[in-house]
Amino acid sequence: MQWIQDPSRSNVDILNNVRRNASIHFMNEKKAYLKAKIEELETNSKVNNVRGINDFKKGYQPRTIIVKDKKGELVANPHSIMARWRNYFSQQLNVHEDNDVRQAEIHSRTTSA
C-alpha cells in the first residue's frame, strides 16, 4: 500500500515486481491445475467415466484469501489470517460465557433474597 501513498519511481518498481510475481504464481498454479485435471480425465475416460468434464470447461479460477485485521488493513499472509480468525472467534465465544456467568449470579442473588 506504500506505492499508492508515495508513487515514487522505486515504489512503482516494487509494485510492478509484486504484480509480475503474482502473475507468475497464478500462471504456475493454472498449469498445475490443468495438468492434474487432464490426468484425472484421462484415467476416467479409460473406465468410461465422463464425470468432471464440465468442471474442466469452467477452467482454472484463482482464489485469493484476504481478511481485514482489527485496524481495517488487508492481510493476505496465511499465518496472520489464522491468527485473526482465532482472535475473532475467541472474542465472539468468550463474550457469551461472561454474560452467562453474570446472569447466573444475578439469578442466584434474586432467588436467595
CA pair distance 109, 83, nearest whole angstrom:
39
What is the residue extent of each domain of the chain?
1-62, 64-113
| Largest interatomic CA distance in the chain | 79
CA pair distance 92, 87, nearest whole angstrom:
9
**Average pLDDT in the 39-47 region?**
83
**Block residue for cell numbers 499508492:** 4
The fraction of the chain above a pLDDT of 90, given in percent, is: 13
pLDDT band at residue 107 under the 50/70/90 scheme:
low
The pLDDT of residue 32 is above 90: yes
**Average pLDDT in the 23-48 region?**
87
**CA-to-CA dists, residue 101 to 22, 87, 94, 107, angstroms:** 49, 21, 11, 10
CA pair distance 11, 1, nearest whole angstrom:
10
pLDDT at 101: 59
With left for phi above 0 and alpha for psi between -120 and 50, is residue 87 left, alpha or beta? alpha
Which helix (H) or strand (E) segment holds residue 31: the answer is helix 9-46
